[in-house]
A and B are shown apart, each in its own frame.
Chain A
Amino acid sequence: MKSSIYSSIYFLWIVSWSLTAGAQGTSGVEAAEVQTVQPKIMVIPFTKEGEDLRFVLEEDINRRIAITKIKEAFDSRSFTTVDFIARLKVAKDNNLFMTDNQTDIKSQIIQMSGADIYVQAEIDDQNGQSGRSVTVLLTGYEASTGNSLSNKVGNSGTFFTDDIGKLTSKAVERIAEDFLNVLQVKFTEIVNNGKSVMVDVGFDLGSPYSMASEVGDEGLPLSDQLEIWMEENAFKNNYHIQGTTDSKMIFDDVRIPLKDPVTGNNYNPNKFALEIFMFLRKIGLKPSKDIKGNTIFITIN
């Protein structure tokens, strides 16, 4: 009797151990296999009206110092940034700039680099009777939406020196860590509440449909069908409608998860666009899709 109790306990222990080990093993494999896609970050200099972004860095060592110091801060957190100077050189060598408009050149470099986030560094040098000081303004933007992610102003303090590079370096050092901390808080917010994408639904010129067209089995207006779908599929039901007209419906902020909740694989705007595409096909429409960064354009033919 006693030995059968012992053997039952031993059997149960073996079973529970193997189940626990199995479970740990599975989650370990999943965690190892799926690596979260990290955002691409690029540090660029601020340019004043009329300044040519292409030559500004070559001429100004202090802006190069500021950019390098900020990149150093990212490196210290084991994060690799997209190198602006390298991208600029490639673009110049290949004559990729289609325009001389400074604003367009900046957007072209950002677009060409594939950066999700860009950090703009502005330097202001003040020289007075009490000495010289440098102020550095760091601003982090989300490239697709223009949302501001982190902002810091750092001052070097006033010194009797002509070494602006050293002052710039001092000013950046004072705020770089804090700047990254705020950026990391925003990343956490994105991990928890999803990444923001914009969905623009419109119609082809010859399309017989409008947002008021009654479609699907329930015969609901298309705009309502879209909203019901978005309600069910936006991450944590988080979406915002900018506006609806007869010919357009714009969701200016739809949250999508970073990881597919079912498979655990990385999720992106392209996959979300495919889901919208499949839904529209299901309710009898002929859509086409186009994705630019984090903006999804759906055209109903």
Chain B
Amino acid sequence: MKYYVYLVVAILGLHGCSPKMHTESGEVNFLSKESQAVFLVKSMGYGKNRVEAVANAEKNAFRVLLFRGLPGSDVPLPLVENEAHTRSVHATYLRHFFAGNRYRSFLMSSKESSKLTKIPGGKRIAVDLKINHHSLRRDLEENQVIRKFGY
């Protein structure tokens, strides 16, 4: 019994030492402009398995567009003016957008562009995404997350 307890404690201890994976990442790069409203980006995603890594890659691309801006693209500055304010005031919209997978309605295509690679703590994958940034901006405006063009 005593050895059994030691074993459990040791397993839990080792689990605690395993590297924690950060699924949020800024590894999103602009590839090309398809039209005035659509562009192609490459985004890196991390997760326990393929499905989670791909979903995180997609979410990362939208997080970068909203809160960081994508150099080289038509959205080099963040779409959202103040991240902290938006995260607190528009928490419901953002929850629905990310956790509720609403972001997928602005995604025109999502294609895996690398093999699923094993890394400490999980898996990594690169995904090429075609994003309709015009309709994303319009949606943010309509939901008053960002101001419309003008004063």
- 8 Å CB interface, A131-152 against B: none
A76-B134, A173-B36, A177-B36 in contact; A185/B77 too (CB < 8 A)? yes
The prevalent SS among residues of A at the interface is helix
Partner among A36, A79, A190 whose Cβ is within 8 Å of the Cβ of B149: A79
Asked if residues A37 and B151 are in contact (CB atoms below 8 Å), the reply is: yes
- 8 Å CB interface, A64-112 against B: 74, 76-79
Asked if residues B36 and A184 are in contact (CB atoms below 8 Å), the reply is: no
Min CB distance A157 to B, Å, is 13
Q: Report B116-151 CB contacts with A as 1/0, cut-off 8 Å.
A: 000000000000000000100000000000011111
* Bound Cα distance from A110 to B71, whole angstroms: 35
Asked if residues A188 and B81 are in contact (CB atoms below 8 Å), the reply is: yes
Asked if residues B74 and A177 are in contact (CB atoms below 8 Å), the reply is: yes
Q: Answer whether residue B75 sits at the interface, using C-beta atoms and an 8 A cutoff.
A: yes
- What residues on A are CB-neighbors of B76 within 8 Å? 178, 181
* Bound Cα distance from A185 to B80, whole angstroms: 11
- 8 Å CB interface, A32-84 against B: 36-39, 74, 76-79
* Bound Cα distance from A190 to B74, whole angstroms: 23
- 8 Å CB interface, B1-53 against A: 36-37
* Bound Cα distance from A181 to B74, whole angstroms: 8
User: Is the interface on chain B under 10, 10 to 19, 20 to 34, or 35 or more residues?
Assistant: 10 to 19
- What residues on A are CB-neighbors of B74 within 8 Å? 177-178, 181
Asked if residues A187 and B77 are in contact (CB atoms below 8 Å), the reply is: no
Q: Answer whether residue A241 sits at the interface, using C-beta atoms and an 8 A cutoff.
A: no
Nearest A residue to B138, CB-CB: A78
User: Is the interface on chain A under 10, 10 to 19, 20 to 34, or 35 or more residues?
Assistant: 20 to 34
Asked if residues B147 and A191 are in contact (CB atoms below 8 Å), the reply is: yes
A177-B74, A181-B75, A181-B76 in contact; A187/B150 too (CB < 8 A)? yes
Asked if residues B149 and A77 are in contact (CB atoms below 8 Å), the reply is: yes
Min CB distance B94 to A, Å, is 20
Asked if residues B151 and A39 are in contact (CB atoms below 8 Å), the reply is: yes
Nearest A residue to B77, CB-CB: A181
Nearest A residue to B150, CB-CB: A38
Asked if residues B77 and A77 are in contact (CB atoms below 8 Å), the reply is: no
Q: Answer whether residue A171 sits at the interface, using C-beta atoms and an 8 A cutoff.
A: no
Q: Answer whether residue A258 sits at the interface, using C-beta atoms and an 8 A cutoff.
A: yes
* Bound Cα distance from A39 to B149, whole angstroms: 10
Asked if residues B36 and A180 are in contact (CB atoms below 8 Å), the reply is: no
Q: Which of B74, B75, B134 has the most A CB atoms < 10 Å from its CB?
A: B74
- What residues on B are CB-neighbors of A36 within 8 Å? 150-151
* Bound Cα distance from A180 to B74, whole angstroms: 10
* Bound Cα distance from A173 to B33, whole angstroms: 11
Min CB distance A114 to B, Å, is 16
Nearest A residue to B134, CB-CB: A76
- What residues on B are CB-neighbors of A184 within 8 Å? 147, 149
Q: Which of A38, A39, A177, A191 has the most B CB atoms < 10 Å from its CB?
A: A177
- 15 A/B residue pairs, CB under 8 Å, sorted by A: A38-B151, A76-B37, A77-B148, A79-B148, A79-B149, A79-B150, A177-B36, A177-B74, A178-B74, A178-B76, A187-B147, A187-B150, A188-B147, A190-B151, A191-B147
Q: Which residues of B contact A (CB under 8 A)?
A: 36-37, 74-77, 81, 134, 147-151
Q: Which residues of A contact B (CB under 8 A)?
A: 36-39, 74, 76-79, 173, 177-178, 180-181, 183-185, 187-188, 190-191, 258
